[in-house]
Amino acid sequence: MKEELFITILSDSTSINHLQYWDAHKKVGNIYFLSAFLFLFAYSGAQSQWLDDPVLDQRVMRGIDKLYNYEFDRADSDFTEVIRQRPDHPAGYFFRAMVQWERIISNFDDESQDDKLYQMLDGVIEMCEKRLDEHPNDVTAMFFNGGAVGFRGRLRANRGKWLGAANDGIVALPLVRKAYELEPNNYDVLLGIGIYNYYASVVPENYPFVKPAMIFFPSGDRKKGLEQLRQASQNAKYAKVEAMYFLMQNYFVYEKDYASALELARKLHTKYPNNSMFHRYVGRCLVSTGYLGEAKDIFVDIEKRCSKKQLGYDTYDAREAYYYLGKFDFMAGRFDAALKSLYRSDELSRKLDKDEPSGFMSLGNLLIGMIYDAQGKRQDAMQQYKKVLAMKEYEDSHKESKKYLEKSYTHN
């Protein structure tokens, strides 16, 4: 997620890891360094409530669990009650905005709800700035301010408003760093610093075009960041789930520690069975660790949920499910079934890939060409390979297409 491409796209290749990470996250926008960087502020702020009322504190925690499980109305009810009882504290307002954020993410192509989120976040920012004017070392206000600015920037990045997003990142970073200086032993605080240390080191290494932007930010530390995420995932009170998510993602995408990623993915999906992101990660990790039979069951389930239009399961999830189901049938030699799924994945890609063909489209069309070759449809296969060559290359997609243009693919 290293042999010939038809093995690569069926098992655990580096190309499929990046395909999954970048293309499967289209529902949250063009996530590269800036968006991941802003995620630091968004969730480090989101998880550190410091409410002094244990009853309200438990209500917030229950609301967070409901939010992760896509029970938006119930989560909204919890956070509304927090606001009613503590109208002077930013926690309830921030988390109610997070419900709006998740609603947007669950139907990402609909931008009609964006303005409402911007208004909610601006309200949190205004409240926190007033608190900071009166008490400059108010850590709670720093974190919720940084979180609100971060999510505002993240939505801007997802909508292609990069200048505004970058500005939000520059504004949020000093807030988070100062809060960490004031609360260095808080494991919830540690999540945000761990995310920054890790991504500020790893992303420029893997994507050199990001390096010029790094002159505006402190350097990172990959090893230290990963350890900080481990500590937060084990010891944080409020940030545990988010720390587990980032740790899982980093194990999968950059560390290539698929077994550790799978362990975390199973835990998250078990606790939050309606969360499509955790669900898909179980499937990806199973593919990467070679448990293809179990992976197929996962993607069959995802496809069924998409067909039923279950909340949170959208066309991005469906596209990924059909892609994998097509690969599994291709591997087993069930070509007609494979083509049916791959055609459907390609159809969805043509709706979703607004800027350029995705990895799902490119590698899916390569697979279709290989199936045509295996079926003796040489002219159709050659058309597919030429089509792939006209798309952006994903790992060896161009190399493999050229190879099969010269000599037809045979399925063993």
What does pLDDT average to over the chain?
85
pLDDT category, 5, cuts 50, 70, 90?
very low
pLDDT digits (tens, 9 = 90+) for 208-250: 777 777 777 788 899 999 999 999 999 987 778 889 999 999 9
Q: State the residue for tokens 């927090």.
A: 82
What pTM value is reported for the model?
A: 0.84
Q: What integer pLDDT is reported at residue 274 of this predicted model?
A: 96
Q: What's the CA gap between 59 and 91, in Å, rounded?
A: 11
CA proximity to 364, closest of 322, 310, 318, 314: 322
pLDDT at 140 over 90: no
pLDDT category, 200, cuts 50, 70, 90?
confident
b/e 375-403 (16+ beta carbons within 10 angstroms → b): eeeeeebbebbebbeebeebbbbbebbee
Q: What is the CA radius of gyration of the chain?
A: 22
Domains and their CATH numbers in the chain: 5-21+276-406 (1.25.40.10), 31-255 (1.25.40)
Q: Which of 28-32, 114-118, 241-245, 379-383 has the lowest mean pLDDT?
A: 28-32
